[in-house]
Amino acid sequence: MIKNDLFLRALNGETVERPPVWMMRQAGRYLPDFMKLKEKYDFFTRCRTPELATEITVMPIHQVGTDAAILFSDILVVPQAMNIEIEMRPGVGPWVPNPIRTAKQVNDIVVPNVYEELGYVYEAIKMTKQELNDEVPLIGFAGSPWTILCYLVQGQGSKNFDKAKEFCFTNPVAAHQLLQKITDTTIAYLKGKVEVGVDAVQLFDSWGGMLSPVDYQEFSWQYMQQIIDALKEEIPVIAFAKGCWFALKEMSESGASALGVDWTCSPRNARYLSGGNITLQGNFDPSRLFSPPKEIKKMVNQMINEFGKDKYIANLGHGILPNIPVDNAKAFVDAVKEWEPK
């Protein structure tokens, strides 16, 4: 039995004494011990070495005190398993040397055997579960098919992913073929994570907000729904789509256990748009962690009071920034733990 099961109880919609708290990208760049490992090993080496992934995953549990761990990995290990070359370039981020721009390229992409290609992730999960020793739950994750397509077609990060959108709108048949291949791989990948012991999974649709509401349904949400349908009977699924407040109603009817909310949507609107019956997660602006700890505490209290303590998981509205002081991250976590009802 997991000793601190607050996160799982909140996902299940149970009454809790306080909301659980974790932070997206919590196992990462703001931690000095992480930076030491970063100097020694490149990004994908850290992802592919189970011992390193485990060490990084467990760091914030010991150093910041979150109520759940999230496996250190990356959404782009999925397309790498599909035989697409992806680098992580310093100062640039994800880099695809041969972006996917033609129907022929899409045809050539394989749906892999995830156990062969991504075995290192499953080893990291087993190792991490052992290291966590049932202290807190472990979250597995994947990127949404649309978000992964954005990188594969654009070739790198972007402010507007114009080339990705152009590809979808001028070559929709190939775009949907690519999205389906990513979806099929992602379902197999996440089912494998469930088998080796993760306690919940989160789908990250970081670039969903780049699409209009109509295009979002066509090029993103229908594929996320396939993934949720394939997993919801086996494990709690959190769907997080940045900038997609307009889709909260559909998302709330999807069978997901919780929905992530970014900082551009107020708690009140998020509750209203999602129908008020589903667990919500979020939505502290990551940049607000630059505020003094006293201010952070005040804002966290306000956030919890607006969302309400039940059916709620305290989190950021996107990943923690690399230059946030560790003490400020701790202040955020401690403020949730110290919260008391008015």
Which residues are known binding-site members for substrate? 25-29, 44, 74, 151, 206, 318
Q: CB–CB of 266/284 below 8 Å? A: no
Kindly state the DSSP code that residue 217 receives in the 8-state scheme. Answer: I
Across 314-331, average pLDDT: 97
Only one residue has tokens 């992409």, namely 109
Q: Is residue 294 part of a domain?
A: yes
* Domains held by the chain: number: 1
Alpha-helical regions (H) of 133-171: 145-154, 162-170
Task: Please tell me the predicted confidence (pLDDT) of residue 66.
Answer: 98
Question: At residue 107, does pLDDT exceed 90?
Answer: yes
Q: CB–CB of 182/78 below 8 Å? A: yes
Q: How many CB atoms lie within 10 A of CB 310?
A: 14
Q: What's the rounded Cα separation, in Å, for the pair 61 and 65? A: 5
Q: Is residue 21 part of a domain?
A: yes
| Domain span including residue 130 | 6-338
Structure confidence by residue, pLDDT tens digits, 145-182? 999 999 999 999 999 999 999 999 999 999 999 999 99
Structure confidence by residue, pLDDT tens digits, 224-270? 999 999 999 999 999 999 999 999 999 999 999 999 999 999 999 99
Q: Is residue 157 part of a domain?
A: yes
Q: Is residue 197 part of a domain?
A: yes
Q: What's the rounded Cα separation, in Å, for the pair 202 and 192? A: 14
Which residues are known binding-site members? 25-29, 44, 74, 151, 206, 318
Task: Please tell me the predicted confidence (pLDDT) of residue 342.
Answer: 80
Strand ranges for 191-311 from DSSP E: 200-205, 237-241, 258-261, 279-284
Tell me the pLDDT band of 331, cut-offs 50, 70 and 90. Answer: very high
Q: CB–CB of 94/88 below 8 Å? A: yes
Task: Please tell me the predicted confidence (pLDDT) of residue 289.
Answer: 98
Q: CATH number, domain at 310?
A: 3.20.20.210
Q: What's the rounded Cα separation, in Å, for the pair 284 and 181? A: 34
Q: Is residue 312 part of a domain?
A: yes
Q: Is residue 1 part of a domain?
A: no
On average, the pLDDT of the chain sits at 97
Kindly state the DSSP code that residue 26 receives in the 8-state scheme. Answer: -
Task: Please tell me the predicted confidence (pLDDT) of residue 43.
Answer: 95
Q: Is residue 175 part of a domain?
A: yes
Question: At residue 90, does pLDDT exceed 90?
Answer: no
Question: At residue 46, does pLDDT exceed 90?
Answer: yes
Structure confidence by residue, pLDDT tens digits, 193-232? 999 999 999 999 999 999 999 999 999 999 999 999 999 9
Q: Is residue 211 part of a domain?
A: yes
CA–CA distance from 248 to each of 204, 279, 306 (Å)? 15, 12, 18
